[in-house]
């Protein structure tokens, strides 16, 4: 997928979203969606299923996409070395999340990370093209991607998505904000 470990172009991010939706919903659903609309996945999913279901599909697609990113971009992510796995769990999660955010930034995402004692906050200001995203599916995709990363790096523990807020105006200073708890649910 990315043998040179260069930042992923926006087409690749879109392909990851598409592949994730196909994995979660099935080839038949994706084929039917593409046959009945020329609007594209980001606009077609909310038109066919409504925003809540489309957002759920994007979240699941993000979770699926993590495994592809990890498998095909290990050097660019910098999360495969023994030094990383020997870090204490809290440092491993924070360092890995910073690496994932940097990887996304290099791939065209406008995303920033803020860490507090109780949560990680990600502010999303720009998404990969195509940017026509009325249901904020890229925000949900990123939420799934980050949650699956945390489960992978955190020993299969579930770190809760405490909140995902999206501004009605996509040009707002922080169109989308994700908040994830730093304490696992178990």
pLDDT by residue, tens only, the chain of 186 residues: 444 445 566 678 888 888 998 999 899 888 888 787 766 777 888 888 888 998 999 999 999 999 888 888 777 787 878 888 898 988 999 999 999 999 888 888 889 999 999 999 998 887 776 666 666 888 899 999 999 999 999 989 999 998 888 765 555 555 788 899 998 998
Q: Give the DSSP letter of residue 169.
A: S
The reported pLDDT for the residue numbered 2 is: 40
Compute the distance between CA of residue 115 and CA of residue 8 in angstroms, rounded to an integer: 25
The helix/strand/coil state of 38 is coil
Q: Are 146 and 97 in contact (CB under 8 A)?
A: yes
Domains and CATH numbers, the chain: 10-181 (3.90.1520.10)
In our burial notation (b when 16+ CB lie closer than 10 A, e otherwise), range 129-152 reads eeeebebbbbbbbbbbbbbbbbbe
């Amino acid at each position: 997928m990315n043998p040179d470990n260069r930042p992923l172009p926006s087409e690749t991010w879109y392909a990851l979203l598409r592949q994730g939706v196909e994995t979660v919903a099935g080839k038949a659903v994706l084929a039917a969606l593409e046959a009945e609309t020329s609007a594209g996945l980001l606009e077609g999913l909310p038109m066919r299923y409504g925003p809540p279901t489309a957002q759920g599909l994007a979240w699941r697609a993000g979770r699926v996409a993590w495994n592809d990113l990890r498998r095909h971009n290990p050097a660019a992510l910098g999360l495969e070395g023994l030094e990383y796995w020997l870090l204490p769990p809290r440092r491993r999660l924070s360092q890995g999340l910073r690496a994932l955010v940097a990887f996304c930034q290099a791939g065209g995402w406008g995303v920033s990370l803020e860490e507090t004692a109780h949560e990680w906050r990600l502010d999303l200001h720009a998404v990969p093209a195509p940017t026509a995203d009325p249901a904020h599916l890229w925000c949900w995709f990123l939420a799934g991607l980050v949650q699956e990363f945390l489960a992978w790096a955190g020993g299969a523990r579930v770190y809760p998505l405490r909140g995902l807020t999206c501004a009605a105006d996509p040009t707002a200073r922080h169109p989308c904000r994700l908040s994830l708890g730093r304490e696992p649910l178990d």
